[in-house]
Homo-oligomer: A and B are copies of this chain.
Amino acid sequence: MRTVTYSAACSLDGYIAGSDGSFDWLYFSPDVEELMGQFWSTVDAVLMGRKTWEFSAGQDFSAEESSGDGTAADLSGIPPVTTYLFSRTLPEAPDGVELVTSDGGGFVNRLKQQPGKGIFLMGGGELATSLFEAGAIDVVSLNVHPVLLGSGVPFFRPQSRRIALELTESRAIDGGCVLMTYRVRN
């Protein structure tokens, strides 16, 4: 069965973007480049909610513009993937993405049964919360940066149940960042 990985860089206080959407605190290094290259080679599908999609659609992902800018670099030069955009309010699918208007958990659990590579759940928030609740997330991976942002977009949102995890990797990488990966005990 395909694996859904929820992964992001975050601050020690758990934000994946500053309150003004800022990503200037992200630290790029050969370590991160290598990790991201490895990760992208294992996935062929990306899940995102409307807000994440609108944000990423507004970015310039050209290599020239992205150097030194973490978010942009996240998406530059990645292999072809199918992007599933979850929204109940968008009237039609934007170019290049598949719009999912049905129940997210049910859709993703069916998608996992289909043949394919790994599935990357991108961005924080409501979609992740609903997929946690549906038991659809298999791996959680964080690149914890050495900063307290104080406010912003949280990686984890409140949810109704406790979820047990199993630590599968933890190591310091360049820039005082700590990579932590967990298997979700669904």
Contacts from A to B (Cβ < 8 Å): 12-14, 18, 25, 132, 140, 142, 144, 146-151, 156, 158-167, 170-172, 176-178, 180, 182
Contact = CB atoms under 8 A, between A and B. Distances in A.
In this complex, which of A12, A151, A166 has the most chain B Cβ atoms within 10 angstroms of its Cβ?
A12
* Number of identical protomers: 2
B162 A148 contact: yes
23 contacts: A12-B142, A12-B156, A13-B156, A18-B162, A132-B148, A146-B164, A146-B167, A147-B163, A148-B159, A148-B162, A148-B163, A150-B159, A150-B161, A150-B162, A150-B163, A151-B158, A167-B176, A167-B178, A170-B170, A170-B171, A170-B172, A170-B178, A178-B178
Nearest to A165: B146
Contacts of A147: 162-165
A98 to B, nearest CB: 28
Given A132-B148, A170-B170, A165 B158 contact: no
Nearest to A158: B151
B172 A146 contact: no
Contacts of A151: 158-160
Contacts of A150: 158-163
A151 B182 CA distance: 19
B25 A162 contact: yes
Contacts of A18: 162
Given A13-B14, A180-B178, A146 B166 contact: yes
